[in-house]
Every structure is written in C-alpha cells, then in structure tokens.
C-alpha cells in the first residue's frame, strides 16, 4: 500500500507504481474546506484515470462539519476509500485555529467528533485514519487513544507512522510503538515508516504485529520496491531485484512522458527536478545531473539530460 505524500503521489507516480506492482495507492492529501469550495488546484490533485484503481483519497481538516461534507463529496467522486490525516507534521497544517493533521493527536475529543461526522456522512466506502505515534510524546499513548476513539466511531482501520510530529522525518520509526497501537484495538493496524526493502517490511510486521505495511519515501524513484516487498512477505528469500541503470533511465523517461501528458510541460519540467533526482540518487555524477535537470527549461532539455546522464553514469561505473 502506497501512502499519500504531498507533492509526490500524483497521477503519473501512481501509474508508474501500478505498472510495477503497487496494489493500492492514495492521492496526495487534500483540504476539506478547499474541496467543499471546488478549489481548482484541489480538484486537480484528485484527477485520475480508469486504470488508477483501487484508489483512496485523504482529507485534512479540523472542523467536523466540513470534514463530513467533504467526505460525502469524496464518495460521490467515486473513490474506493477515504482516509483522514492525523499525521501531517508541517506547521501550515498543524498551526492556526484548532490545528489539523498531527495536531489532532492532542485533541482527542475533536478527533472523535470528526470521526463520527465522516463515518456518518459516507454510505458505501470504508473510512480509515493515518496518524503518528504522538505529537511530542513518543510513548504511543496519544496514538492508542486516538485509535480507540476511531474504532468506537466506526473507522475501519488505522495506519501508524512510527514517529512523533516533533521528530518529523528524523531518527528511526518505532515499530514497538506501532505494536502498542495494534494491541490497543481490534481493527486492522497498518505500519508505516522506514520501509525501504522487503526485509524492512518483514521486520516491521515481526516486531509490531501489524496487519499490513504502508510505503512512504522508500518508494520514491524506486517502483521496483513493490514487487520486492510482495515477494519477501510471501516467504521468497531470494535477493531483492536491483534494476540496471538502463531500466531506471527507461522508467524515468516514461515518468516524464506521463508528467507531460497529465500536468503539461510547464509543471512537468518543475516536477521532474525532484523526481529525476529520486531515481539516480547515489550514482556517480549525480550532483552534476541535478544541476542539469534544475537548469532545464523545456521537456526536450530534460529528456536530453536524462539520456546523457544514463550514458555518463554508466561509463563512470564501468571505469571505477
């Protein structure tokens, strides 16, 4: 399962992932208030195609009424699952008003109101919650409390990122902390954090006892990870598949094609400045490649930089 990630899990990313073995994906999170207002940018984040399925949407917000209204709209739009964001750590989301995202971990009563409003607003799709272990408290008490409240209000499952809001993406994910949440509720618990290989996924399940694994940053530039994890969890102990440089270049060029097709050239060029770096991180001459990508003004220049880097990096690897 691929987690929602802002500025990452757009339609081209999901289509590449599905081709490479991704079984379930989420959109980037969207604001409940913006969706209610039919904000053009928000609706753009929610675009999809028939092959992009099954697909979940994720709402962020702190007003129960708005979250319920937006939830009904998500169901009307045809999404297969609705997730509620109680994990985002960025100040833009957690600050202001009562605070949304991971700030709701410190507002259990309001979180309960949101769960009740959302579950009552949808008729046919499951509702889940994605959260962190806590806001500042690493003990897992806040996540356990929120998970129990979610279960009581009819939420079907919870996903837990094994870090606090204070940690953001530093340190290591606490799999034992995820296990505390698993023991606290009867609904399924999905683990998230630091899964970059099949071995990581197996370790998370062994330590936490969680019911499933949600991938985050480990899938950026590495769509081969989906099959590697599937094999590992099915008991296949053969070494993980490592793509060749040519395979990476081929998939990256296809990713660029999809960005141009669905986002247009102007946005595709800007998106690819970070996407291309995901794929070739760690290769010789990667810094020079990033400079070339960031300097590219057109998709043609972007295509040429990718093709040239593939040849240059291959030569560097052979000569080393």
Q: What is the DSSP string of 177-210?
A: HHHHHHHH-SS-EEEESS--SHHHHHHHHHHH--
* Nearest residue to 211 via CA among 238, 181, 235: 181
77-109 pLDDT tens trace: 999 999 999 999 999 999 866 689 999 999 999
Report the SS3 class of residue 83: strand
- To the query of whether residue 88 is one of the catalytic residues in this protein, the response is yes
Instruction: Give the lowest-confidence range in 7-21, 86-100, 139-153, 170-184.
Output: 86-100
Which pLDDT score, from 0 to 100, does residue 315 have?
A: 47
Kindly state the tokens that stand for 46: 């929610």
Which pLDDT score, from 0 to 100, does residue 283 have?
A: 84
Which residues are CB-contacts of 50 (< 8 A; sequence separation ≥ 6)? none
Which pLDDT score, from 0 to 100, does residue 319 have?
A: 39
Among residues of the chain, what percentage have pLDDT more than 90?
86
Q: How far are the Cα atoms of 91, 108, 198 from residue 201, in angstroms, in the given order? A: 30, 30, 5
Q: How far is Cα 131 from Cα 137, in angstroms, rounded to an integer?
A: 13
Phi, psi angle pair for 174, to nearest 5°: -95, 100
Active-site option among 8, 62, 88, 144:
88
243-282 pLDDT tens trace: 999 999 999 999 999 999 999 999 999 999 999 989 988 8
Domains, the chain, with CATH or none: 11-233 (3.20.20.70), 245-319 (1.10.1200.80)
Q: How far is Cα 100 from Cα 92, in angstroms, rounded to an integer?
A: 9
pTM of the model: 0.92
**pLDDT band at 130; cut points 50, 70, 90:** very high
Q: How far is Cα 313 from Cα 320, in angstroms, rounded to an integer?
A: 11
Kindly state the tokens that stand for 15: 């289509």
């Amino acid at each position: 399962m691929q987690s929602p990630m802002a500025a990452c899990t757009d339609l081209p990313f999901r289509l590449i992932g599905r081709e490479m073995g991704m079984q379930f994906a989420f959109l980037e999170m969207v604001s409940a208030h913006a969706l209610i207002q039919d904000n053009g940018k928000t609706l753009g984040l929610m675009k999809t195609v028939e092959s992009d399925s099954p697909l979940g949407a994720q709402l962020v917000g702190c007003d129960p009424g708005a979250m319920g209204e937006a939830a009904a709209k998500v169901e009307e739009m045809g999404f297969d699952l609705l997730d509620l964001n109680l994990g985002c750590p960025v100040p833009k989301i957690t600050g202001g008003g009562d605070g949304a995202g991971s700030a709701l971990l410190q507002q259990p009563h309001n979180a309960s109101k949101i769960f009740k409003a959302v579950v009552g607003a949808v008729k046919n799709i499951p509702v889940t919650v994605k959260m962190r272990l806590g806001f500042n408290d690493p003990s897992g008490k806040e996540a356990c409390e929120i998970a129990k409240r979610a279960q009581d209000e009819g939420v079907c499952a919870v996903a837990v990122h094994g870090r606090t809001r204070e940690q953001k993406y530093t340190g290591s994910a606490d799999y034992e902390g995820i296990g505390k949440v698993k023991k606290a509720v009867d609904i399924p618990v999905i683990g998230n954090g630091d899964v970059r290989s099949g071995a990581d996924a197996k370790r998370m399940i062994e330590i936490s006892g969680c019911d499933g694994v949600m991938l985050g940053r480990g899938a950026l530039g590495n769509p081969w990870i989906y099959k590697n994890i599937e094999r590992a969890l099915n008991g296949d102990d053969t070494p993980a598949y490592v793509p060749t440089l040519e395979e990476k270049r081929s998939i990256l060029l296809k990713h660029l094609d999809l960005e141009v097709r669905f986002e247009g050239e102007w946005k595709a060029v800007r998106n690819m400045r970070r996407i291309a770096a995901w794929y070739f991180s760690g290769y010789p001459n990667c810094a020079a490649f990033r400079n070339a990508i960031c300097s590219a003004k057109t998709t043609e220049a972007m295509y040429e930089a990718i093709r040239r880097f593939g040849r240059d990096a291959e030569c560097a690897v052979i000569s080393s």
